[in-house]
Amino acid sequence: MTVLFIVLPIALVLAAAGLAAFLWAVRQGQYDDLDTPPYRMIFDDDEPALHKTQQRSSP
Amino acid sequence: MTQAAYKPSARASSQHATGCTCSHCGLTVPKGMVDAMRKQQFCCMACESAYEVIHGCGLDAYYRLRDKAAAEQRQAKPTDAQRLSAFDSDKFHELYVRRLDDGLCATDLLLEGVHCAACVWLIEKLPRVVPGVIEARLSLREATVRIVWDPQRAELSQIAKALGTLGYAAHPARGGDKRGVHLAEQRAMLVRLGVAGALAGNTMLLAFALYTGMFGGMEQRYAEFFRWISVGLGVLSLAWPGRVFFQGAWAALRTRSPHLDVPIALALGVGGVAGAVNVVVGRGDIYFDSLTVLVFLLLVGRFIQYRQQRRADDAVGLLFSLTPSHCRRVVHSTDGDADGESIESVPVEALGLGDLIEVRSGELLPADGVVVQGQASVIAALITGESRPVPIAVGDRVCAGARLAGATLRVRVSAVGEASRVGKLMALVQRGMSEKPPIIALTDRVAGWFVCAVSFIALVVFVAWSVSDVALAVDHTVALLIVACPCALGLATPLGLAVAMGRSARRDILIKSAAALDRLSKPGRLLIDKTGTVTRGAMRVEAWQGDMALQPLIAEAERHATHPIARAIVEAYGDQELAAAQRAMLCDIRVDRCGVSARLGQGQLRIGSRLYLLEKGIAIEVSHGKQVSDWSGLGCTTVYVAIDDRVVAMIAVGDAVHEDAKASIDQLRRWGWEVSMLTGDERAVAMQVGQAIGLDASAIAAGVSPEQKLEVVTSRLGDERAVVMVGDGVNDAAALASADVGVSVSGGAEASMAAADVYLARPGLSGLVELIATARNSRCVIRRCLCVSFSYNALAVALAAAGLINPLVAAVLMPASSALVLGLAMHGQRRPRQDLETQGATR
């Protein structure tokens, strides 16, 4: 069971990576508006050209 | 926005149905507009051009989406060209536009009429409608759109115009700095939440292993390893996300005000230190799993409450954007030509002393000044509370915030911003807010003696156990302090309040501070403003008795008079069509001091006050008397219409009392509230209104200036009973800010909305009753939570005192009690209306 001494720190590093991703998303403003995105995703992507411009993240 | 909502239905009923509906807004198309040759029909030009834009850009999917969403359809509303030009002024760009690095510009606009998924789709397709717009992102909750555009290719006014054509009137989103602060705060809370969650989860996993080891046995080196990692994660959790509780407790201790953070910080501190020591020493229990979960859950509760509060605060702040922020400045051109003057639209902030401004009928005066040209009346209801219009002429002084009626005026600006009368009132508001004593919520008050009781019991337990074994005594005392943490309460209270605030917000009651709910739950003193709060706040036609066919004729005759009552009649009936033959019958219109007369075919039409008719020798029948006294009971003035010597119709015009006012006040009194009315209006008017809502003369203070209102409020403060001020005007703002709870009502001035704790976004006083019902209900819920939470604490403390508690028992007890209290908090909230009905049924 000595493997625990290696596995546990690795698990913690993975958790830290997940946490870092979350913090990055928060600082990017991805949690600022929780009401509009649910609607946005139901629209059909009928215009690929337009879709490209819309993918710019909000400044 | 209410007006916009009413308008379509009025149109639909006033025009003859043709069975044909508008292709854009779905309303009935008036006969004259039907074009049999076309497939699409439109009710007005605005809808037609909206359709052309949408169709022309290949965005017909909007109509499909909208039908799917089954949302309310709306009429297109073109934006006033004058107002649009302001979007391009330098001052506007300085105030609201951000320059991005790549030469693009970005701004936030508040849109009227955003309501469904189809709106999101259409607005975000703006780059196809206006070339030069790079991106449009709509926030559905705030109804704001962030626009990024290329200033080389498009002007902002073009963009605003396009939005207006599509049916969304655009306004610059004001209060951006405050929203920015909120956003930063929310992000910080989310970061803490995420960190606390990750740490709690991992500590729990380690705890599972340790608990299993407790029963099944575990090698010492693994246990040691797990304990060391637990302590690392736990201390990190206490020091980073958990720091807010220590900071809160420290602030509470420094100001000597009780706060729920104190017992929480006590438990976290003692648990953290004892756990760390135990790990270093290598013996004893550690409670880090409970502590980290505690930090996480408490933060969740606070985050949800904060979101609700921020939602209300932002919604009120964004309403400011709808108030006019632009005015017309008269500029003389430099070539000395007498006719060389032009009018430009500038933001109010750009006005300077001595500027000449033009104000049109129905607009608000942007600054204090002296009239240099024109003659009109001003309605200063928002500033002084006086509901009747005051006539003004050249040379008179006018105040910012008053509404102009009748004609266009030119005003020389004498004071702007902070120097104006409104500005001075705002300074009083600022002072009132800073001097207002903080409200200590029920749970915080309880927390005060809770800390004392727990410390005392801990001392007793320590002394009792140390007789046999000091080390054991320390262990038991630490366990007691940890399990005595009122975590269930700390979680349930914010959640309960958030649920109450969220439900209220859906019913148009925006609560900006949770503490206000606590204050409103016990009966206190209620001070109500008259104009705009008890009454509607503007002269308008309230009732009509007589032949309906006369209405357009009367409006036509009254068009020639400038009196506010005449204007109210024109407003009410002026849009009805008058047949050409009828118009021809009406001639020789004469405007008198108290009435209007005209020849109507063979007869003589007279419209005016009772006095006017009596002067002309027309008798008023006794049968009319009852109606007139009913109307005057509502605070209305009666206008009589006579043909020859017979009264044929009567119109009630006035600043009428809201229908629900009396019932609401009666209900509040039944709940034990002491209601009185404060008004800047004349005594006679105040008494009439007071009578209509059932107030005694002693409960009415008339002719009160804004400063006196503030005095009345402050003189009643400092008592057990809360002082609640309800008002709408600038004149109430200072009083609203210093009262225990300030409630601002729909249609009010910006200043009062900013100063108040609660904003009722619908007219009438029924919202106030609902608000107080909600407050009473949430107090019940919090009490119930208190009881359950304390029973758990009592049980846990008893176990700890007996030495029967260990980390596993604590880890099971804590979430169990939290879940129970949470269930109570979420489901204990009855809907306000049901609450009202049950209240009524028991009486």
What is the tens place of the pLDDT at every residue in B2-49?
333 333 333 333 444 446 777 777 777 777 777 777 777 787 777 787
- The residue ranking higher by pLDDT, B118 or B480, is B480
* Test mutation, A5, A31, A32, A33, chain B, max B CBs within 10 A: A33
- The residue ranking higher by pLDDT, B623 or B490, is B490
The CA-atom distances, in angstroms, between B589 and each of B566, B585, B600 are 14, 11, 9
B191 vs A16, A23, A59: nearest CB: A23
- The residue ranking higher by pLDDT, B588 or B412, is B412
For the segment B232-270, what is each residue's pLDDT rounded down to a tens digit?
Answer: 999 999 999 999 999 999 998 898 888 888 888 988 999
* Closest chain B residue to the Cα of A5, Cα to Cα: B225
Enter the tokens of residue B594.
């108290």
* Closest chain B residue to the Cα of A54, Cα to Cα: B135
How far is the alpha carbon of B144 from chain A, nearest alpha carbon, in Å? 11
Taking an 8 Å cut-off on Cβ atoms, the answer to whether A36 and B186 are in contact is no
How far is the alpha carbon of A36 from chain B, nearest alpha carbon, in Å? 5
Rounded to the nearest angstrom, the gap between the alpha carbon of residue B225 and the centroid of all alpha carbons in its chain is 54
B640 residue type, one letter: Y
Handedness of CA B229, B232, B236, B239 (dihedral sign): positive
Distance CA B741, CA B724 (A): 5
Distance CA B702, CA B691 (A): 14
Residue (of B318, B315, B314) closest to B181 by Cα position: B314
Residue A56: what pLDDT? 45
* Test mutation, B105, B128, B140, B205, chain A, max A CBs within 10 A: B140
Distance CA B703, CA B51 (A): 53
Residue B237: what pLDDT? 95
Taking an 8 Å cut-off on Cβ atoms, the answer to whether A59 and B127 are in contact is no
- Is residue B168's pLDDT more than 70? yes
Whether chain A has a CB inside 8 Å of the CB on B184: the answer is: no
Q: How confident is the model at residue B821 (pLDDT cuts 50, 70, 90)?
A: confident
Q: Indicate the average pLDDT of chain B.
A: 80
Residue (of B590, B532, B521, B425) closest to B777 by Cα position: B521
Residue A58: what pLDDT? 42
For the segment B283-312, what is each residue's pLDDT rounded down to a tens digit?
Answer: 888 889 889 999 999 999 889 888 888 887
**Which DSSP helix (H) or strand (E) runs through B512?**
none
The conformation of residue B80, written as its DSSP 8-state character, comes to P
SS3 A20: helix
Taking an 8 Å cut-off on Cβ atoms, the answer to whether B127 and A1 are in contact is no
* Closest chain A residue to the Cα of B128, Cα to Cα: A50
Residue A49: what pLDDT? 45
Distance CA B249, CA B265 (A): 6
Q: Give the pairing of strands B723-727 and B525-529.
A: parallel
> Which residues fall within 8 angstroms of residue A52, CB to CB, at 6 or more apart?
none
Whether B290 and B482 have beta carbons less than 8 Å apart is answered as yes
Q: Which range scores top for mean pLDDT: A27-31, B334-338, B437-441, B825-829?
A: A27-31
Entry pTM? 0.74
Write b or e for each residue in B60-88: b if 16 or more Cβ atoms lie within 10 A of its Cβ, otherwise e.
ebbbebbeebeeebbbbbbbeeebbbbbe
- The residue ranking higher by pLDDT, B420 or B529, is B529
A33 vs B139, B201, B222: nearest CB: B139
**Do you know the residue count of chain A?**
59
Residue (of B792, B789, B785) closest to B827 by Cα position: B785
Residue B232: what pLDDT? 94
Distance CA B484, CA B454 (A): 7
* Closest chain A residue to the Cα of B101, Cα to Cα: A59
Taking an 8 Å cut-off on Cβ atoms, the answer to whether A19 and B100 are in contact is no
Residue A47: what pLDDT? 53
Chain A positions with Cβ closer than 8 Å to B? 1, 4-5, 8, 11-12, 15-16, 18-19, 22-23, 26-27, 29, 31-36, 39-40, 42-44, 46, 50, 53-54, 56, 58-59
Of the listed ranges B105-119, B148-162, B554-568, the least confidently predicted one is B554-568
Residues of B in contact with A59 (CB under 8 A): 100, 106, 146, 148
SS3 B260: coil
Taking an 8 Å cut-off on Cβ atoms, the answer to whether A58 and B120 are in contact is no
Residue A52: what pLDDT? 42
Q: How confident is the model at residue B322 (pLDDT cuts 50, 70, 90)?
A: low
Of the listed ranges B388-392, B455-459, B561-565, B763-767, the least confidently predicted one is B561-565
Write b or e for each residue in B538-575: b if 16 or more Cβ atoms lie within 10 A of its Cβ, otherwise e.
bbbbbbbbeeeebbbbbbbbbeebbbbbbbbbbbbbbe
- The residue ranking higher by pLDDT, B822 or B338, is B822
* Closest chain A residue to the Cα of B115, Cα to Cα: A36
Residue (of B4, B27, B122, B125) closest to B69 by Cα position: B122
Percent of chain B at pLDDT above 90?
A: 12
Distance CA B660, CA B664 (A): 6
Q: How confident is the model at residue B835 (pLDDT cuts 50, 70, 90)?
A: very low
For the segment A15-44, what is each residue's pLDDT rounded down to a tens digit?
Answer: 999 999 999 999 998 888 888 888 887 776
How far is the alpha carbon of A54 from chain B, nearest alpha carbon, in Å? 7
Residue B832: what pLDDT? 46
Enter the tokens of residue B332.
């003389």
- Beta-carbon neighbour count of residue B243 at 10 Å? 15
Q: Give the pairing of strands B540-546 and B170-172.
A: unpaired
